[in-house]
Amino acid sequence: MIPIENLEEMVSNLQIYTSFLSSENIERIVSNNLLPVFILRYIGNIECVSDWYGTPLHIPELSPSNELFWDYRDGKIDHKTYIKKFLLEICEVNFHKLIKKFEYLTESC
């Protein structure tokens, strides 16, 4: 976790847009000079994005854990519980490091 006194380091010009996953949306993102980033845990078997599996553009740590996803998918937990548990998981992500990674990727393009 970033100490409160270091929050000014979090200032960034990074802009993030979200979109449903489709070949058309990926083409639109790239044609608008935007960097596509994929947060799905497994993209290796999805034809339109499998080429990005394991690359810096694949950020699975922003997706729910397998166990949480499967529990929700299989009806073991309801949507409200899924959201609460996902929020607990996402709190463990180092967003400072992630934002720096996104900034580096956008500067590299």
Is residue 12 in some structural domain? Answer: no
Which residue range is the domain that position 45 belongs to?
20-108
Does the global pTM surpass 0.75?
A: no
Is residue 10 in some structural domain? Answer: no
Is residue 64 in some structural domain? Answer: yes
Is residue 37 in some structural domain? Answer: yes
Is residue 67 in some structural domain? Answer: yes
Q: pLDDT tens-digit profile of 22-76?
A: 889 888 888 988 888 888 887 878 888 888 888 888 888 889 999 999 999 999 9
Locate the DSSP E strands across the chain: none
Query: Is residue 8 very low, low, confident or very high in pLDDT (cuts 50, 70, 90)?
Result: low
- Residue 44: CB atoms within 10 A of its CB come to 12
Number of structural domains in the chain: 1
Is residue 6 in some structural domain? Answer: no
